[in-house]
Amino acid sequence: MNKVERIIGVLKRHYGVNAFRIETEDPFHALIGCILSQRTTNKNATKAAKTLFSAASTPQSILNLPEENLKQLIRPSGYYNQKARYIIETTRVIVENFNGETPSMREELLSLPGVGPKTADIVLSYGYGKPAVAVDTHIHRVSRRIGLAGIDAKTTEVKQALEIALPQTDWSYADGALLQLGKDYCKPRNPKCGECPVEKLCGYEDKGV
């Protein structure tokens, strides 16, 4: 058993094996929700998504909205001018190039305007139920700190390290558990090392991450 597997095993005992089960949602809603979540809180993103989808919930119906209306609907998410532009551009590509269906392949998702690796993996995982590790800032920090990836590893390298070390059946759990570990214990500043469930397996020595 490698280190990643041992740590995930500890987290399963700490959080419970069913703690991070994924509830799938409409892939298009997952995609737009990710765009709205950029540089804002989950609360604000959720509010904006709910308001938007109550007015327009499909790619074509969103394209039919006047741009100013779209901006007002997503205003609670912040940076609404930029996000409106991404939503319009991405939605247009989905309608014109993918017959109105959100792509289910990672490469195709990455071809959409405003869609990066994290968003693509979230759509695959939450929209299509496909195993994927979506590396956010918490997972990136935690993985490097506790030695699951190199101290200078980029997000793509962290993703690769985790997916190679774990069976696909554990990818989604690792995603949720490492993210929660980052929120609960392995914080950006003043991490709670003495309380952390994986302290004995951790190699963190304040290396600036």
205 pLDDT higher than 90 = no
DSSP 66-99: -HHHHHHHTGGGS-HHHHHHHHHHHHHHHHHHST
pLDDT in tens, 92-123: 999 999 999 999 999 999 999 989 999 999 99
Residues 34 and 121 both lie in one domain: yes
Total structural domains within the chain: 2
pLDDT in tens, 13-26: 999 999 998 888 99
Nearest to 39 by CA among 4, 80, 90: 80
Domain assignment present for residue 209? The answer is no
Residues 65 and 99 both lie in one domain: yes
Residues 16 and 32 both lie in one domain: no
Domain assignment present for residue 149? The answer is yes
Percent of the chain with pLDDT over 90: 92
At which of 128, 154, 186 does a domain end? 128
Q: Which of 118, 159, 170, 175 is catalytic?
A: 118
Residues 9 and 47 both lie in one domain: no
Give the model's confidence band at 203: pLDDT under 50 very low, under 70 low, under 90 confident, else very high.
Answer: confident
Give the model's confidence band at 208: pLDDT under 50 very low, under 70 low, under 90 confident, else very high.
Answer: low
183 pLDDT higher than 70 = yes
At which of 128, 146, 173 does a domain end? 128
71 is catalytic: no
Q: Which of 3, 12, 136, 184 is catalytic?
A: 136
Q: H helices of 56-170, where?
A: 59-63, 67-73, 80-97, 106-110, 117-122, 128, 137-145, 155-165
Range of the domain at 110: 27-128
pTM, two decimals, is 0.88
At which of 128, 157, 188 does a domain end? 128
The CATH number given to whatever domain includes residue 119 is 1.10.340.30
50 is catalytic: no
